[in-house]
Chains A and B, each alone.
Chain A
């Protein structure tokens, strides 16, 4: 199973409207992505909590439809 990167971005934007998102399809197979996500909503959260917010935005697709998403999260500079 795979997922379009546009769909990925849309779901993240829905949960984190201010997010700046850079997605890379690592193997061109729609199944192995890396994403760098910068959002003010991450302020004051631990890395684990930041990633959990992204996973929550993906509504269970991570680890299911989406095999690999290498995440980097940050707050706006």
Chain B
């Protein structure tokens, strides 16, 4: 698994930054409604995150699906751990579970 250079890059990204969103487009200009929904939730909570635009990187775009065993984008990682895609993050946000997870992982946000 560590022989795969794309997986190594992904590992680097999710270990270098606490909150990483693999998305279509950028946080300023999401190019997909599902990506925009997660950007919206994180922005609402004023969480600092890094957006990685998979549309500009074919290797990451395909690699992240295999890496997470998850067929779609966006994908949210917090402290190196896969949290979920749009449906799960939205559900967690609405249930207050996202807040709890950020508490548990010591990530700053505005309630």
Contact = CB atoms under 8 A, between A and B. Distances in A.
B71 A47 contact: no
Interface stretch (B10-18, B22-30, B39-47, B81-89): B81-89
Given A47-B91, A72-B91, A55 B71 contact: yes
Interface of A is mostly: mixed
A47 B72 contact: no
Contacts of A71: 87
A63 B91 contact: no
B63 to A, nearest CB: 14
Interface in B76-104: 82-88, 91-92
Q: How large is the interface on B (under 10, 10 to 19, 20 to 34, 35 or more residues)?
A: 10 to 19
B73 to A, nearest CB: 8
* Interface core residue of B34, B72, B84 (most chain A CB under 10 Å): B72
Contacts of A51: 70, 84-85, 87-88
Contact of B88 (A48, A60, A62, A68): A48
Contacts of B86: 70
Interface of B: 34, 65, 69-72, 82-88, 91-92
